[in-house]
Structure 1
């Protein structure tokens, strides 16, 4: 006899007597070999479980399920197993279970030299910090541009005649990058950080969300990978103790076409971005990269000393 995903969730929540997320319910299902109880598993059974519980809570006044609103990711429990006092304890414990960003003595801007070093050394990208405080004040510009922009120029790698030929015919010889920096990524700030990156990197060839610490919780990493794959945003983790160990956790998806309209809007809004665009144009015209005009690339020893002051 087969049962629905909703019935499966009820069975497992009653058996475990604890709040669980849809992913945890499905993982428990596999651990106990309960998969055959449901007729159709589909590609994402945990989403089906979550959807069926949500619909039941919304449309059925007699639903046996409860949402634990404070939990991230959101979890479900059974009404019959919890009185109000117990629910309050659950809510408090779930809030405590959310991994919060650690208290640090540095700020996000202190991470800029680390990203510049990583981008230059491992991506062959020259970066430029874009100071938000220099942007014109307007509501629509809040998430308009990222913390750092970058460019990969083929100068020095390509023959000058080939480079000029490619530029004349509009070939994609130059790659433009967008970087949004955070001190740490956990469930508590993932959504806002990620969609801020999506918003302010839509114009670039590649967009990255960068942090000095990324939660290693399995469920968090699965969600981070899902978002990265869905929206094409890359994830970089900076190692502030050993900058050479910084790495791309998930690569960005390359977009062939730049969003010229948005780039023009950023140029009008922010003088740093305008200077960056002018710098790239001048380097292409002169066939020479003037590194001094981009963010300074420090030595590893200097970086570590800077962050530990």
Structure 2
């Protein structure tokens, strides 16, 4: 019997709801479970001049076919969803987009018995991972901003969408000669870029615009603003992010929670030439963490040196 790959993939994912698999992992299971059908598939492929003389070549072909069938598969079976970024992962869920967001943001509501080896990740777990990525890959000094440390003098909702989760400083003068540093310091030219990051666990169609404009709001003071997520579900979600980014300049980082070094800057942010110091003044006046961040920047401009121990650098 010929192998119906699409139906096989759907059945495999449906038997393991909520678990995420790469196309390669699915293909390995298909070959192991249906060796006879796969050999027949290999013979038919030879007839069409596709060189499939090795197990690895067969595996690569099935991986490619899973990827090519993805749009049609998702249209026919809306329960099949995929994450974006590398590598794309496939999973089966009966949850709506909004339910997925609710479960991601309130991990204790997730049925952990069904996934004992995958302990639900919390948003605060992502902060040190993002700091690790920013330092190791982009050489950005980062600092956590806890909005709970704000004075909230403006009443309920007064600080909503005001503070980013992390802020960062990029030392543009790290490789400069000491004479050049001293000259620039006297010249009062810019030798840093200030960064702002809003962190989420999951972004999909139900929350993409809300979290994007939250990032726009709380990153308006910085040279560069980024939305960060450990998972982004669906090509349409990424397309929406790209459209919004082209209008508002916010970038997007897909943070790999398992291996931060494999994280991706999927959409670069547009740089603002100047910091909005008026907004920064409000943030500093009402939040101790942000005030500490501004003090570190001032100290850098005064001394020309950065003390790594002052920052959230791993």
Which TM-score band (shorter chain)? 0.5 to 0.7
- Paired position in structure 2 for 1:280: 297
Question: For the residues of structure 2 that align with 1:214 and 1:97, how far apart are their CA atoms?
Answer: 11
Match of 1:118 among 110, 133, 143: 133
- Paired position in structure 2 for 1:169: 187
Question: For the residues of structure 2 that align with 1:134 and 1:152, how far apart are their CA atoms?
Answer: 25
Are positions 1:100 and 2:100 aligned together?
A: yes
**Any idea what SS the aligned residue of 2:158 has?**
helix
Are positions 1:136 and 2:146 aligned together?
A: no
Give the C-alpha shift of residue 155 in structure 1.
4.4
Are positions 1:154 and 2:172 aligned together?
A: yes
TM-score (normalizing by structure 2) = 0.61
TM-score (normalizing by structure 1) = 0.62
CA contact under 8 A between 1:239 and 1:246: conserved in structure 2?
yes
Q: Describe the superposition over 1:64-116 as per-residue Cα deviations: whole angstroms up to 9, x where unpaired.
A: xxxxxxxxxxxxxxxxxxxxxxxxxxxxxx99477833645221111001110
CA contact under 8 A between 1:99 and 1:187: conserved in structure 2?
no
Q: Describe the superposition over 1:151-198 as per-residue Cα deviations: whole angstroms up to 9, x where unpaired.
A: 011343112221222233232211000000001111111111110000
Could you say if the C-alpha distance between residues 170 and 218 of structure 1 is closer, same or farther in structure 2, counting changes exceeding 3 Å?
A: same
Question: For the residues of structure 1 that align with 2:270 and 2:174, how far apart are their CA atoms?
Answer: 25
Question: For the residues of structure 1 that align with 2:162 and 2:182, how far apart are their CA atoms?
Answer: 32
CA contact under 8 A between 1:238 and 1:247: conserved in structure 2?
yes
Could you say if the C-alpha distance between residues 97 and 119 of structure 1 is closer, same or farther in structure 2, counting changes exceeding 3 Å?
A: closer
Q: Describe the superposition over 1:109-131 as per-residue Cα deviations: whole angstroms up to 9, x where unpaired.
A: 11001110111111110000011
**Any idea what SS the aligned residue of 2:196 has?**
strand
Q: Describe the superposition over 1:14-52 as per-residue Cα deviations: whole angstroms up to 9, x where unpaired.
A: xxxxxxxxxxxxxxxxxxxxxxxxxxxxxxxxxxxxxxx
Could you say if the C-alpha distance between residues 96 and 142 of structure 1 is closer, same or farther in structure 2, counting changes exceeding 3 Å?
A: closer
Question: For the residues of structure 1 that align with 2:96 and 2:310, how far apart are their CA atoms?
Answer: 46
Match of 1:180 among 181, 198, 204: 198
Q: Describe the superposition over 1:128-150 as per-residue Cα deviations: whole angstroms up to 9, x where unpaired.
A: 00111000113332221201000
Could you say if the C-alpha distance between residues 140 and 245 of structure 1 is closer, same or farther in structure 2, counting changes exceeding 3 Å?
A: same
Question: For the residues of structure 2 that align with 1:157 and 1:210, how far apart are their CA atoms?
Answer: 28
Stretches of structure 2 that go unaligned for 5 or more consecutive residues are 1-93, 108-119
Match of 1:244 among 257, 261, 266: 261
- Paired position in structure 2 for 1:230: 247
CA contact under 8 A between 1:209 and 1:234: conserved in structure 2?
yes
The two structures, once aligned, show a CA RMSD in angstroms of: 1.9
CA contact under 8 A between 1:155 and 1:289: conserved in structure 2?
no
Question: For the residues of structure 2 that align with 1:180 and 1:286, how far apart are their CA atoms?
Answer: 30
